[in-house]
């Protein structure tokens, strides 16, 4: 164990005064938690964290996650002290437009930020994913004498994090998986925004985590007992079969006149309070953003130690490469994010001669093929493996070896009934590097995971969600399980691709584009009911997000649809032909991808001239950007055999043909060609 001296005391005081200055300069933020957690932050970064601030992407760096969004200023301060590309000017720009120190940490914006946090509970759940990532990659690539991947994941969390359900889901699974490489430090300051936790949060956190299977440690004097903090973290690292939570008793806003109360939680300190704080800690009250030279020197030594650690690792990897060239090459490829050459050739293709099957079954076939050529593809289901059809033949479960249920080299995850935790964990897996994770549930229950899905998109993480039972077509389970509104909110998320394939080729295309989209998450919606293979589909066409399935010269109407309704539209067109109504059929499996195509291509698919009718067994919300008239659901679904449910809502070939007739008749009365909905007034003006 190391000894602590006045330089350490000064460093802790520096962190506290910087926290006060950063939040005061922004006139926004949370000074209390950073001030309370300054000692543990200093001990962790100066004594334990293994990182190279000059190379934030070193694969074997320790991961630090600030799950407690109310301490976000603390992370930026520590990154600055540790030598990352966060300057004093960046600290002064905290929470300002286009700064690299936004209101809450965002991966990809600031070097050294591992995952996007702020929404409480997400960070600790991401940390579970990061820990799983290390355990899996280590099991795959480590050899005797070559511990290439052996990093730890450290997470700071608070009372708010522990009250969010997602944290319970993820931490429960972490205990089951015995993730000894995960160390969580609980800032037990007994304060939330509403005040003392006595008003709403009185559970025994230590007993709760003990029941999860975690190792429990306790530090009573977290405000100043640096040696006890160091001892607890060192003890946590000795664990071999359980994650550890350290209950750290702290005083929120330590040093402030309002220390220990909720007033210091979410508002800047007053000027007189900051002045007395600085005097108390031996700083000039008139100086802001002060960093003593001895603190700078201390952290310069920390940065130097980290650079040396990576240099030693590179030497180890060089020796590893000589002895295990194949494994070394594979690790380099995966860490660099390169896909194997020709992997896409494994995607199955289909013709009309192939049988009609549910697209969830087509998805299973695709996953099975991809698992053979993409060793980085890992994932599982939220207790719906037999329904989602996500486990490929020969898959090994990711489990602690002691259970006899699998090993850490396993690529299939049993997430349990934890949709939100599953998705947040997948975010951590994607952020770790070298892995392409997927989760699976029914489409309706992706809504349980909405908070984490949103962060997948905001974080630009390649996370796939396999979402089966995608419509009223699931039948007898009824409205509680039938997603009516789900597609609309998923399509509304920026940087998220919602796919709803109509057949086998479109299913392959959805996986092709999702896997190639390194910075975009995807939700892939698949049917329970059987779907025939379309005559006009191909992987290449569908990969553009929308294409013409069936065409005719000078159409009277364009039918545009997705998923299982594309076939219904094709059958409706046959009926329209008998009435001398010519129709084009368009499949639009992914709005997000279609929107990225050139204007010329989009207008070639959905042209000006004929009216465009959309058909989808969802709420019609969002279709106004693509069609003039929208045929879908105006309310909840219904329980019953799927064909009867479709018939109830007139979503049949006959019902669609009837609606198309009315649309054609209505617009013929207007006597003029229609602009495509893709052409807005603003487009016209700009031209």
- Which active-site residues does the annotation give? 419
630 is in an annotated binding site: no
Paired with 248 in beta bridges are 187, 219
420 is in an annotated binding site: no
Q: Are β-strands 244-249 and 215-219 bridged in parallel, bridged antiparallel, or unpaired?
A: parallel
120 is in an annotated binding site: yes
Q: Which two tokens stand for residue 4?
A: 């602590």
Assign residue 253 a region: left if phi > 0, alpha if psi is -120 to 50, beta otherwise? left
Distance CA 601, CA 623 (A): 19
Question: Phi and psi at residue 424, in whole multiples of 5°?
Answer: -65, -35
Beta strands in 258-393 (DSSP E): 357-358, 377-381
265 is in an annotated binding site: yes
Distance CA 555, CA 663 (A): 13
Distance CA 562, CA 473 (A): 13
Distance CA 664, CA 670 (A): 10
Q: Which residues contact 663 (CB under 8 A, 6 or more apart)?
A: 557, 611, 613, 628, 629
191 is in an annotated binding site: yes
Q: Distances from the Cα of 228 to the Cαs of 15, 120, 225, 235, 610, in angstroms?
A: 19, 27, 5, 10, 75
188 is in an annotated binding site: no
528 is in an annotated binding site: yes
481 is in an annotated binding site: yes
176 is in an annotated binding site: no
Q: What is the DSSP string of 151-211?
A: --EEEEEEHHHHHSHHHHHHHHHHHHHT-TTEEEEEEE--EETTEEGGGT--S-HHHHHHH
DSSP state of 395: -
262 is in an annotated binding site: no
Paired with 413 in beta bridges are 380
Distance CA 500, CA 514 (A): 12
445 is in an annotated binding site: yes
70 is in an annotated binding site: yes
160 is in an annotated binding site: yes
479 is in an annotated binding site: no
Answer for the pair 22, 71: CB distance below 8 angstroms, yes or no: no
DSSP state of 392: P
189 is in an annotated binding site: yes
Q: Are β-strands 557-561 and 547-550 bridged in parallel, bridged antiparallel, or unpaired?
A: unpaired
627 is in an annotated binding site: no
Residue numbering of the annotated binding site for substrate: 30, 265, 360, 387, 469, 477, 481, 528
Q: Residues annotated as binding site for Mg(2+)?
A: 159, 189, 191
Q: Which residues are documented as binding site for thiamine diphosphate?
A: 70, 118-120, 160, 189, 265, 445
Residues annotated in the binding site, as ranges? 30, 70, 118-120, 159-160, 189, 191, 265, 360, 387, 445, 469, 477, 481, 528
């Amino acid at each position: 164990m190391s000894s602590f001296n006045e330089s350490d005391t000064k460093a802790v005081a520096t962190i506290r005064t910087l926290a006060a200055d950063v939040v005061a300069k922004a006139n926004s933020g949370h000074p209390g938690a950073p001030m309370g957690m300054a000692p543990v932050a200093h001990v962790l970064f100066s004594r334990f964290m293994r990182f190279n601030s000059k190379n934030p992407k070193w694969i074997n760096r320790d991961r630090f996650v600030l799950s407690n969004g109310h301490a976000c200023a603390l992370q930026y301060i520590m990154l600055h002290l540790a030598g990352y590309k966060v300057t004093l000017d960046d600290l002064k720009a905290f929470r300002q437009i286009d700064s690299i120190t936004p209101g809450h940490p965002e991966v990809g914006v600031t070097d050294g930020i591992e995952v996007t946090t702020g929404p409480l509970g997400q960070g600790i759940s991401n940390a579970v994913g990061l820990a799983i990532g290390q355990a899996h990659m280590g099991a795959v690539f480590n050899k005797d004498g070559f511990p290439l991947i052996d990093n730890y994941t450290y997470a700071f969390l608070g009372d708010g994090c522990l009250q969010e359900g997602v944290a319970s889901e993820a931490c429960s699974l972490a205990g089951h998986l015995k993730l000894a490489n995960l160390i969580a430090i609980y800032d037990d300051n007994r304060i939330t925004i509403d005040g003392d936790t006595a008003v709403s949060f009185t559970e025994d956190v230590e007993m709760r985590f003990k029941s999860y299977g975690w190792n429990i440690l306790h530090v009573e004097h977290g405000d100043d007992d640096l040696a006890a903090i160091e001892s607890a973290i060192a003890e946590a690292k000795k664990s071999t079969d359980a994650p550890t939570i350290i209950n750290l008793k702290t005083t929120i806003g330590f040093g402030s006149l309002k220390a220990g109360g909720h007033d210091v939680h979410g508002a800047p300190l007053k000027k007189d309070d900051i002045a007395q704080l600085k005097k108390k800690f031996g700083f000039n009250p008139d100086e802001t953003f002060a960093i003593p030279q001895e603190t700078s020197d201390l952290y310069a030594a920390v940065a130097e130690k980290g650079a040396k650690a990576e240099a030693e690792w590179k030497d180890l990897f060089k020796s590893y490469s000589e002895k295990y060239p194949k494994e070394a090459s594979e690790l380099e490829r995966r860490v660099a994010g390169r896909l194997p050459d020709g992997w896409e050739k494994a995607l199955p293709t289909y013709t009309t001669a192939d049988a009609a099957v549910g697209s969830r079954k087509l998805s299973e076939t695709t996953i099975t093929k991809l698992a053979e050529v993409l060793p980085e593809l890992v994932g599982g289901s939220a207790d719906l493996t037999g329904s989602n059809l996500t486990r490929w033949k020969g898959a090994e479960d990711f489990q602690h070896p002691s259970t006899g249920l699998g090993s850490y080299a396993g690529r299939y995850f049993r997430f349990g009934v934890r949709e939100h935790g599953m998705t947040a964990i997948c975010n951590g897996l994607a952020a770790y590097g070298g892995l392409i994770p997927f989760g699976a549930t029914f489409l309706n229950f992706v809504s349980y995971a909405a908070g984490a899905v949103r962060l997948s998109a905001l974080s630009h993480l390649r996370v796939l969600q396999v979402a089966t039972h995608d419509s009223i077509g699931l039948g007898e389970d009824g409205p509680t399980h039938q997603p009516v509104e789900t597609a609309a909110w998923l399509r509304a998320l920026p940087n998220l691709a919602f796919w709803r394939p109509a057949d086998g080729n479109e299913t392959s295309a959805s996986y092709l584009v999702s896997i190639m989209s390194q910075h975009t998450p995807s939700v892939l919606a698949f049917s329970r009911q059987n779907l025939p293979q379309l005559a006009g589909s191909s992987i290449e066409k569908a990969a553009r997000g929308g294409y013409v399935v069936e065409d005719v010269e000078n159409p009277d109407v364009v039918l545009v649809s997705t998923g299982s309704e594309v076939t219904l539209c094709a059958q409706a067109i046959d009926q329209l032909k008998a009435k001398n109504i010519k129709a084009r059929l368009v499949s639009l499996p992914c709005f997000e991808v279609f929107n990225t195509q050139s204007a010329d291509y989009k207008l070639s698919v959905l042209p000006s001239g004929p009216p465009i009718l959309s058909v989808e067994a969802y709420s019609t919300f969002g279709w106004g950007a693509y069609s003039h008239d929208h045929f879908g659901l105006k309310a909840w679904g219904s329980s019953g055999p799927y064909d009867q449910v479709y018939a109830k809502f007139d979503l049949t070939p006959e019902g669609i043909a009837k609606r198309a007739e009315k649309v054609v008749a209505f617009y013929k009365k207007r006597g003029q060609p229609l602009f495509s909905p893709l052409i807005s007034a603003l487009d016209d003006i700009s031209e």
